[in-house]
């Protein structure tokens, strides 16, 4: 049996709520809004992205929901993390291809 030690950083639910309250539930990268596409079932659904990776901030840092977080859809969230360090929101916006 192998053991692995990892650092676990807890995310604060209140910071997520404050971020969405401020920015809304529309993706900061692609403007996708689940409520507009799926109706009631999608209303308010969105991921929240840390502009600075939480693992590099350290546990003593107090996340500012307006300065440090942005709402992003799950697809854009995955694409932001396709490299290490993660892409910035502006970098990913520049990669979006025109609709076919």
Rounded to whole angstroms, how far apart are CA atoms 11 and 66? 15
C-alpha of 56 from chain center: 16
Average pLDDT over residues 30-58: 91
Rounded to whole angstroms, how far apart are CA atoms 34 and 5? 37
Residue 34 has pLDDT above 80, yes or no: yes
SS3 per residue for 53-91:
CHHHHCCCCCCCCCCCEEEECHHHHHHHCCCCCCCCHHH
Q: What is the pLDDT of residue 58?
A: 63
Average pLDDT over residues 5-24: 78
* Residue 1 three-state SS: coil
Higher model confidence: residue 86 or residue 12?
A: 86
C-alpha to C-alpha distances, 58 to 51, 62, 73, 93, nearest whole angstrom: 14, 9, 25, 28
Residue 6 has pLDDT above 90, yes or no: no
């Amino acid at each position: 049996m192998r053991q692995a030690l990892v650092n676990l950083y807890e995310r604060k639910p209140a910071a997520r709520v404050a971020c969405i309250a401020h920015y809304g539930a529309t993706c900061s990268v692609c403007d996708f809004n689940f409520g507009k596409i799926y109706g009631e079932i999608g209303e308010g659904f969105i991921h929240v992205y840390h502009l600075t990776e939480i693992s590099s901030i350290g546990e003593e840092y107090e996340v500012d929901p307006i300065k440090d977080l942005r709402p992003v859809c799950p697809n854009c969230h995955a694409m932001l993390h396709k490299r290490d360090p993660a892409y910035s929101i502006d970098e990913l916006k520049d990669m979006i291809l025109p609709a076919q």
